[in-house]
Amino acid sequence: MYKKTTLKNGLRIITVPMKNTQAVTVLVLVGTGSKYETKDINGISHFLEHMFFKGTKKRPNTLKITEILDKVGGIYNAFTEKEFTGYWAKVDSRHTDLAIDWVSDNFLNSKIEEEEIEREKGTIIEEMNMYLDTPMLHIGDLWEKLLYGDQPAGWLIIGEKEIVKRLKRKHFLDYSKNHYTAKNTIICVAGNIDGKSVENKIKKYFKNIRKIAPKRKPKVIEKQTKPKCLVHFKKTDQTHLALGVRGYDLFSPKKYAQALLATILGGFMSSRLFISIRERRGLAYYIKTPAETYTDTGYLVTLAGIRNEKVEEAITLILKEYKSIKDRNITKAELQKAKDYLKGTLTLSLESSDAQASFYTGQELLTGKISTPEQEFKKIDQVTENDILKVAKDIFQPEKLNLALIGPFKNKEKFEKILKI
């Protein structure tokens, strides 16, 4: 059970009491990310997240900020995505007050000093280098760049080096003023708590949060009339690929069928693509097919690391599975396995307080409403074999196909020729 309270200033508070745990997670989620940026400040959402660990008046430097939770064995971090940014701490329930105080202090009172900004630029650039040197991670960025191009949805969350180097303190202050506001923020405390007591503490600690209306993000423009391919040359021993299609967004009722379709194709070790590509032919170590749903876009994509000389064969096999699943109905048994898998993984994932906090705040922030796990299970169970077929026929169309590659290739013509379904 959870409780949601909306204060007069628009700040939303969610409390999730949990039995059989000694842990408590405090999560602050803000409705802003790289999709809310302009080109001249691309990367600032992620950069600002870093600056919230650099010092407040109460805890003037990183050492003072970090050691206070280290001393009680707490864990803490932050994250930036396309549509939201989060700050959290997880502690033994005896230190709940400390965690609320710590998160609120960083969130509301960070100094964001020019000297620290300049120093942190080096850290950000090294983080960029890490991603660029990790094709398994970078391929996802290239995939979205291919889909959405030069608009916020297609930009890197971490930004670009030359843009990050130019950011100044005023950029951070203006950006936080426009987005880090009461109406754009949700605070969730989940775990071994007394809900009413925690709610009162949050009202106290966050009483000075800004009250202006947040800025909106631009609408994503989607336009595609033929298959598209992006090849990023890199001397690698393995080619990393992302092959998939445009799909449905977070508000589409078809998202449940899309999720089940992705699961059947590449969601687990007995999925079609795992068996076909890895087990029967030994072409890959990892291969998976997630379905992503944003508030205004969505897609289904197969990600894999393939032997360089076998890339074309692997692409052909993936497309063969796409075509097969849109040409004929799946069996009841295969659909039931996918349903049970999704329900089972959701159940297991919600055993921890941090997962519970993410589950409820994510829904509330992005959709404005919350479904319980049981309500989600019901939606999953309502999907039929015919629903899967309809979705497959709709999304697996030639003009919706996209392929991104990282590997020792300098032209894309030979790959474009095989992008047929």
Q: Which residues belong to the active site? A: 49
Instruction: Please list, residue by residue across 370-382, b when 16 or more beta carbons sit within 10 angstroms of its beta carbon and e when fewer do.
Output: eeeeeebbeebee
Element containing residue 190 per DSSP (H, E): strand 185-191
Query: CB under 8 Å to 188, separation ≥6 — which residues?
Result: 13, 14, 15, 16, 25, 26, 27, 29, 357, 360, 361
Edge-to-edge strand order for the sheet containing 75-80? 3-6, 12-17, 185-191, 23-30, 85-92, 75-80
Which among 127, 144, 137 is positioned nearest to 43, based on CA atoms?
A: 127
CB 88 within 8 A of CB 77: yes
Give the start-end residues of each E strand in 59-177: 75-80, 85-92
The token duo for 197 is: 């007591």
DSSP 74: -
Task: Give CA–CA dist 166/62, Å, rounded.
Answer: 23
Distance of alpha carbon 237 from alpha carbon 100, whole angstroms? 47
Pairing of strands 12-17, 185-191: parallel
Q: Strands 401-407 and 238-246: what pairing?
A: antiparallel
Q: What is the largest CA-CA distance in the chain?
A: 64
User: Measured between alpha carbons, how far is residue 378 from residues 295, 368, 372 in Å?
Assistant: 22, 20, 10
Please say whether the beta carbons of 235 and 307 come within 8 A.
Answer: no
